[in-house]
Amino acid sequence: MVHIGLNAHLLAGGAGYRSAGIHGYIWHTLAHLRAAAPDGWRFTVLVGADSTASFDGLEIRRARWNTASPLRRIAWEQMAQPWSLGEFDLYHALAFVSPLALSVASVVTVYDLSFMHYPQVLPASRRLYLRLFTALSCRRARQVIAISHSTARDVAASLGIPPEKITVAAPGYDAARHRPLPPEQVAAFRRDKGLPERFWLFVGTLEPRKNLPLLLEAYAALPRNERLPLVLAGGKGWGYQAVFEAIERFHLENAVSLPGFLPVEDLPLWYNSAEAFVYPSLFEGFGLPVLEAMACGTPVLTSNVSSLPEVAGQAGMCLPPHAAPAWTEGLRRVYADATWRAAAREQGFREAARYSWTETARQTILSYQKAL
């Protein structure tokens, strides 16, 4: 019998583990892991003391510590955890870092290297921890899991990890949730939110990496009769002031709305309601909103860098993230070209179909088999 331990302490804190980003990736991977595994394999999921996580066919082991805060989690990972791992044949660090004192074979998942390429995103102490310990963890691991081919190439180039040691396990999406919705349901949602019949949508944290000032510059260059209302949805991250400054500078107060963070359960309705989804990010480990928008039938404009062309495939209009004129022309085409919008919608369904959480779990199991 193979016994695998999985560090899932980022799920600590109850229902929050269902949210997007790393938490969502971990939760969905674990939810599909048992079905993808060979018979006889045993899994123990290590979580924080306050976690309410449970998964069919997986044992949950709660720590004595509350590890909800980053400092407590790091202390637990490096000082308390290593002494309880001897029973495992393989240890999976589900987010960047494994213990220095680890005595068993390991696999580590890397989502992106933004802490190297965009270091301002984290406080100096956490940035240093990730930078040093992720590199060490990847070099010591028997296998590294990357969430996109772009991240895999970055891990190989930036951390010196041999490509043959890296497995790509891309995220999936909830096909029951992210899909075209009935027109009457979408129309009712628009009325309830006071949304116009036609608008463009961005979803993501308001931070410099999302490149929203450039999008606003490109948008402002359009004649008013060739642009739709623009919705920038998402919570305020670091450096979000630049977004508000750009809105004021380009006199877009009446054209741009910022509804704030959107509940996960509402996202499919937002995607369905928008005429196009715009995502001008400078750097993404995967770019899950692009996948979710395509699955809902929403045409996508996104950047032609990092993982984004990989996710959008032949469906998205991929544009250089530093060229505002290119984004102006892209938005103009999206506004006027109904034929392109229809073709992008249909191709988006085909591109989205390449991804599923079942395949994520299958590739994760494959990485375990290589490591063993």
CA 233 to chain CA centroid, nearest Å: 16
Element of type H or E holding 196: none
Count of other CB atoms within 10 angstroms of residue 194: 8
SS3 120: helix
Predicted pLDDT of residue 69: 81
What is the residue-level pLDDT of the chain in tens, covering all 372 positions? 899 999 998 885 543 334 458 888 999 999 999 999 999 999 999 998 888 899 999 999 998 878 878 888 888 888 888 888 889 999 999 999 999 999 999 999 999 998 888 777 666 777 788 888 999 999 999 999 999 999 999 999 999 999 999 999 999 999 999 999 999 999 999 999 999 999 999 999 998 989 999 999 999 999 999 999 999 999 998 889 999 999 999 999 999 999 999 998 999 999 999 999 999 999 999 999 999 999 999 999 999 999 999 999 999 999 999 999 999 999 999 999 999 999 999 999 999 999 999 999 999 999 999 999
CATH fold for the domain made of 3-172+356-371: Rossmann fold (3.40.50)
pLDDT at 80: 85
Task: State the virtual CA torsion across 324, 325, 328, 334 in degrees, nearest 10.
Answer: -110
Give first-to-last CA distance, the chain, whole Å. Answer: 12
Do 3-172+356-371 and 183-352 show the same overall fold?
yes
Q: What is the pLDDT of residue 61?
A: 93
Report the half-sphere exposure of 234 (CA within 13 A, side-chain side): 19
Beginning with the edge strand found earlier in the chain, give each strand of the sheet holding 276-279 in spatial order.
Answer: 256-260, 230-233, 200-203, 276-279, 300-303, 317-319
Quote the CA–CA distance of 7 and 94 in Å, as a whole number: 6
Other residues' Cβ atoms within 10 Å of the Cβ of residue 44: 15
The CATH-assigned architecture of domain 183-352 is 3-Layer(aba) Sandwich (3.40)
What are the structure tokens assigned to 79, written together? 């000082």
Phi, psi (rounded to 5 degrees) for 256:
-115, 135
What pLDDT is stored for residue 330 in this prediction?
98
Q: Tokens at residue 73, please?
A: 């989690």
299 SS3 class: coil
Compute the distance between CA of residue 44 and CA of residue 12 in angstroms, rounded to an integer: 15
* pLDDT score for 284: 94
Dihedral sign, Cα of residue 16, residue 21, residue 24, residue 30: negative
Q: Are 46 and 21 in contact (CB under 8 A)?
A: no
Tokens of 285: 């480990």
Domain ranges of the chain: 3-172+356-371, 183-352
CA dist., res. 55 & res. 357, Å (int): 14
Is 301 within 8 Å of 330 (Cβ atoms)? yes
Residue 47 phi/psi, 5-degree rounding, is -130, 170
Strand segments, DSSP code E, in the chain are 3-7, 42-47, 59-62, 90-93, 106-110, 143-146, 166-168, 200-203, 230-233, 256-260, 276-279, 300-303, 317-319
Identify residue 117 by its one-letter amino acid code.
Answer: H
- Cα(314)–Cα(27) distance, rounded to whole angstroms? 29
